[in-house]
Structure 1
Amino acid sequence: MSKRRGFDIDFPETPDGVYTGGGRKTASDESARPSVPAGTRRGPMAAAISENAEALRDRAEAERAIREENDRLAHDYVRLKRAGLITDLVPIDAVLTTKLTRDRAAGPDPEIEELKASIREVGLSNPIRVEPVGDHFELVQGFRRLSAFRELYAETGDEAYARIPAGLVASGEALVGLYRKMVDENLVRRGISFAEMAQLALSFARDPATDTTDIEEAITLLYASAGRQKRSYIRHFATLLEELGGELRHPEAISRQLGLDLVKRMGDEPGFSAGLKTMLAGQGEVSSDYEVARLTDAVKSAPKATPKPKGSSANAAAKTTLRCTVPAGTVRCAARDGKVELAMERDFSSIDRHRLEAAVAAFMAALDD
């Protein structure tokens, strides 16, 4: 049997004892090498394993840093989205306006041309707000801005108006919260009428998707940011719309004072509401100025004399007046046959209906004692 021959490979000597396949080394290459104890030598396989392990460590570190950055960006995105601070360009055709009843009356908007001119010149400075729902978006705020973009796209065909800047509201927010967002923005907007605010409250109370059926509660919820006096005016206009809403063509044109006068006359004069309905039902399509003029004339007209009911007291003209001081102030009282009037510097319409009912019941019970 032949004898096996063995031989050694004479590796070139390097300062660190690591063979790198030959080649001329530069001073920078040698200075970059980690120091190795004298007399220690590594073969090519050991060097390759060492370099591969180092590369794997570097890659793992880079991946960890990327994951941390992605997690941070994801958390920031969710936080900003919940705050409605994420803005995107969404197609105008993908925005629906069916979830919320809008607080703007239907019909031409006299201010839309000014808004369109501003968008053409400087763009949209205040994005609309939408709630993502499936493959579309539900409008929360910005009905006029969306209408302006749609009109501009229809008029020009410019693709710049085919998509609108929109803040994305987190999905799943309660319906009353979405209504509040819309209402609070419009409370500080000039031009919205008391009739439009009252109509929104009526629609909210009638909406089966809400938990509210009482108009008083609806006004309190929707207009919590408004002052007590303003909510009182909205209640009066809600009464006006409940009485005449189906016959009025331009309720948004009714001024605050005219609306209050109409409601007062309705409460003071039996049959006044019926007379207004008859007058409005036969007017057809008219301008807002014409309708307001007719309502103003009706308020200023002399009250109709009501027939004296049979069996009325012979002392019907007698009247008792008095003043009573209570902790809340001075109450002026006028009592006559079939009528008692209490007057003081206080907004009784802001008091909960159930408390008023209890107070009236206690008042009548005290009279019968």
Structure 2
Amino acid sequence: MSKKRRRVFDIDMPEEQEAPRPGGPRISSLEPRRGPMASAVRENADSLRDRAETEQAIRAENDALAHEYVSLRNQGLVLQRVPLGEIRTTKLVRDRKSVGAEDLEDLKTSIAQIGLSNPIQVEAAGDGYELVQGLRRLSAFRALAAENPDGGYGTIPAVVLGQGESLEGLYRRMVDENLVRTDISFAEMAALARSYAESEATAADTTDEAVDALYGSVGKQKRSYIRAFAKLLTVLERHLQHPQAIPRALGLAVRKRIEAEPETLADLQRALVTGGARDAAGELEILKAYVGQGEAAPDPAQDTFPVGNDAPRAGKSPRKARTTFQVHSPRGAAKCTASMGRLELKLDADFTTMDRRKLEAAVQQLLAMLDD
């Protein structure tokens, strides 16, 4: 059987050319290719890094804001709503008498209609707060809360001072605000100065030092008036029921007569004690009678203050001559004061209950005896 031979042909084939890729350059097949999982991991790592950087920036900003808030709060520049039950009024002696319900009606109406325009000021104190400024506003809120428990008056807008300010600084905050009030009286300011001087927690040892410490921002003349009222309260505070109602001129006149005629003080104290319960107008009448009822009270601008300087100013009239003496009678001791154009008799008796004809006859007899 014959074998067929297989013929082999040598054929030269051209080199294969890679087809061009549309839309971009050729990518070398030698570069490593990233799978879908690797790409996802890389993208997630980048996202986590960006998020961490953002959170770090936010934390830094929050820390800066927190430090700024604490600084502003300690300076009393941050407004908060403070529960009424956490506010105490015991640390500072208040510069005004207790607030009566009738004095709050207008303020309560204003708060109910438009809210509190001026927040109170308190100091952080342990588990609560101590009032620095705003006794009337706090009293009005407490009254509104009692009248309307569901009216939203359980908290009050307040500027909260941080702990650490000196007692002297707290007193000055209270006083400086109240100096702009038109209803703050000299007696109230003087009473506060006396309490300040008596406190062991303050540096003032005398009332004069207390006046300078508390009222350093007011004029020298006004401070002299406060000192005069402080001296007046020293001898009359236990006998006065409405010292805050005493006008400046009347208080200065009373103080000057006590200074010039100390023997008349007992009579004034007795008149205030025997007067019993009275309103402010009744008490003022007693004081006016003491300095001369019917005469205009001296003008403070022409008084020689500070108290104790009795020398008349140049160009001013000297003090009017006055004679005082006592006459004893079955009704008691009668205080008599005689001056130019005036004769005054003071006796612990109600002359309005006496027969007018008897009074006229007695006066006529007195004048007839004086003419003789």
Q: If the length of structure 1 is used for normalisation, what is the TM-score?
A: 0.70
1:226 corresponds to which residue?
218
What's the CA shift string for 1:232-262, capped at 9, x where partnerless?
A: 1101100001111111110001110010001
2:260 matches 1:299: no
Q: Distance in 1 between matches of 2:143 and 2:137?
A: 10
Q: CA deviation at 1:55?
A: 2.7
Q: Distance in 1 between matches of 2:173 and 2:219?
A: 17
Distance 1:36 1:173, change over 3 A: farther
Distance 1:47 1:248, change over 3 A: same
Matched AA of 2:47: A
Unpaired runs of at least 5, structure 2: 1-26, 295-303, 315-372
2:152 matches 1:160: yes
Structure 1 runs (4+) greater than 6 angstroms displaced: 35-38
Q: Distance in 2 between matches of 1:38 and 1:75?
A: 58
Q: Distance in 2 between matches of 1:40 and 1:274?
A: 114
Matched AA of 2:257: R
Q: CA deviation at 1:47?
A: 3.7
Contact 2:99 2:139 in 1 (8 A): no
Which of 205, 210, 221 is matched with 1:213 structurally? 205
Q: CA deviation at 1:282?
A: 2.5
Q: Distance in 2 between matches of 1:340 and 1:175?
A: 34
Which of 158, 168, 178 is matched with 2:170 structurally? 178
Q: Distance in 2 between matches of 1:238 and 1:178?
A: 21
Q: Distance in 1 between matches of 2:310 and 2:73?
A: 55
| Residue correspondences, number | 277
Identity over the aligned pairs, expressed in percent? 51
Distance 1:340 1:190, change over 3 A: closer
What's the CA shift string for 1:249-282, capped at 9, x where partnerless?
A: 1000111001000110011012122222222223
Matched AA of 2:197: A
Q: Distance in 2 between matches of 1:213 and 1:70?
A: 48
2:122 matches 1:137: no
2:139 matches 1:147: yes
Q: CA deviation at 1:42?
A: 3.2
- 1:241-252 matched pairs, under 5 angstroms: 241-252=233-244
Matched AA of 1:134: G
2:194 corresponds to which residue?
202
Q: If the length of structure 2 is used for normalisation, what is the TM-score?
A: 0.69
Unpaired runs of at least 5, structure 1: 1-34, 303-331, 333-338, 346-369
Considering only CA atoms, is the larger Rg found in Structure 1 or Structure 2? 2
Q: CA deviation at 1:86?
A: 1.1
Q: Distance in 1 between matches of 2:28 and 2:139?
A: 75
Q: CA deviation at 1:69?
A: 1.4
Which of 273, 278, 285 is matched with 1:286 structurally? 278
Distance 1:299 1:342, change over 3 A: closer
Q: Distance in 1 between matches of 2:156 and 2:30?
A: 71
Q: Distance in 2 between matches of 1:79 and 1:260?
A: 46
- 1:56-75 matched pairs, under 5 angstroms: 56-75=48-67
Q: Distance in 2 between matches of 1:224 and 1:231?
A: 8
Give the 3-state SS of the residue equivalent to 1:161 in structure 2: coil
Q: CA deviation at 1:145?
A: 0.3
Q: CA deviation at 1:38?
A: 8.1
Q: Distance in 2 between matches of 1:250 and 1:300?
A: 20
Distance 1:36 1:245, change over 3 A: farther
